[in-house]
Amino acid sequence: MNLKISDLLFGYNIPLIKSPMQVEIEEGTIIAVVGKNGMGKSTLLKTIAGIIPSLSGEVFIDSQRIDNYNISKKISVVLTTKPLSALSVKEVLSLGRIPYTNRFNQLNVKDKQIIERIIKKLNLQSLLNKKINQISDGELQIVMIARALIQDTPIIILDEPTTHLDLDNKAIVLGILKEMKEEGKIIIFSTHDINLVLSRVDLIWVINNKEFQQISKGKEREIVKIFPSKNLIYDEKCKIIRLI
């Protein structure tokens, strides 16, 4: 699986970056998208996923444009919007298999096995019969990530997946994403928890002041240069960014 972003400008009427994006990502890669609020992280993710059109350029999966694909079988997305509150957790999880079901949306044995595996992996058994509006924001985040994993696509895009989560659940989610990487999936997610993900990602995409920059593993200190501040340093020994 290969994801190629060619000459991409994204935004609503006005590009959010000055120069078009040119990147190519191989399978088994985790990417964190970082930047200040309003810089375009969510817009970039939605553009890659085909939710909103690009202003120019194209996104390819295995040399085919995403508009020529059945996107729902190639890319699963977790955004910050909430699903319909009338649905139960079990119903929301089942939605992840819709791209693979027949016209009556009937789940087959394989669908049910995939759903059950993810439910057990994320310990969601106690939530299954609750309505979406009856669970906490943190629980909802875990449920929506589970739905994306149940969709079982080679590319997973997540907007702030660790928001509202306590440290234990953050560790669980990042552990699951690492497992997905080892299965060959491409994972792209936005985050403000930079230190939490520094040691867990292969690439960092930075959007700042209408500039896009890709930082590879081992060059994390470049983040501090991109966000110059007398209050920030990169701790070479601990490999984290510190406030001073």
Assess if residue 229 is contained within a domain.
no
> Residue 109 has what pLDDT?
94
CA distance 114 to 158: 20
Average pLDDT of the residues in 12-35: 95
- Answer with the one of 152, 175, 209 that is the final residue of a domain: 152
- Which has more confidence, 68 or 112? 112
Average pLDDT of the residues in 202-231: 82
Q: Are residues 52 and 163 in the same domain?
A: yes
Beta carbons of 181 and 173 less than 8 angstroms apart: no
Assess if residue 244 is contained within a domain.
no
Q: Are residues 100 and 125 in the same domain?
A: yes
Q: What stretches of 92-182 adopt beta strand conformation (E)?
A: 155-159
pLDDT band with cut points at 50, 70 and 90 for residue 66: confident
Q: What stretches of 27-141 adopt beta strand conformation (E)?
A: 29-34, 56-61, 64-65, 75-78
CATH number at residue 206: 3.40.50.300
User: For residue range 145-176, what is the model confidence (pLDDT) as tens digits?
Assistant: 999 999 999 999 999 988 878 888 888 888 88
pTM for the predicted model, two decimal places = 0.89
> Residue 154 has what pLDDT?
94
Q: Are residues 70 and 159 in the same domain?
A: yes
Residue 65 has pLDDT above 90, yes or no: no
Sequence-distant (≥ 6) Cβ neighbours of residue 63 within 8 angstroms: 2, 4
Beta carbons of 9 and 48 less than 8 angstroms apart: no
Domain of 194, in residue numbers: 1-74+154-219
Q: Are residues 93 and 38 in the same domain?
A: no
Per the prediction, the chain carries an average pLDDT of 88
> Residue 228 has what pLDDT?
64
Q: Are residues 17 and 114 in the same domain?
A: no
Residue 68 has pLDDT above 70, yes or no: no
Nearest alpha carbon to residue 78 among 176, 5, 9, 8: 176
Q: Are residues 108 and 210 in the same domain?
A: no
Query: Strand pairing partners for 3?
Result: 25, 61
Q: Which helix (H) or strand (E) segment is 193 a member of?
A: none
Assess if residue 233 is contained within a domain.
no
Average pLDDT of the residues in 76-92: 87
Q: Are residues 90 and 64 in the same domain?
A: no
Q: Are residues 65 and 89 in the same domain?
A: no
Query: Strand pairing partners for 234?
Result: 241
Q: How is residue 239 written in tokens?
A: 């490999």
Average pLDDT of the residues in 110-131: 94
Q: Are residues 174 and 205 in the same domain?
A: yes
CB-side exposure of 213: number of CA atoms within 13 Å?
16
CA distance 244 to 237: 16
Q: Are residues 146 and 158 in the same domain?
A: no
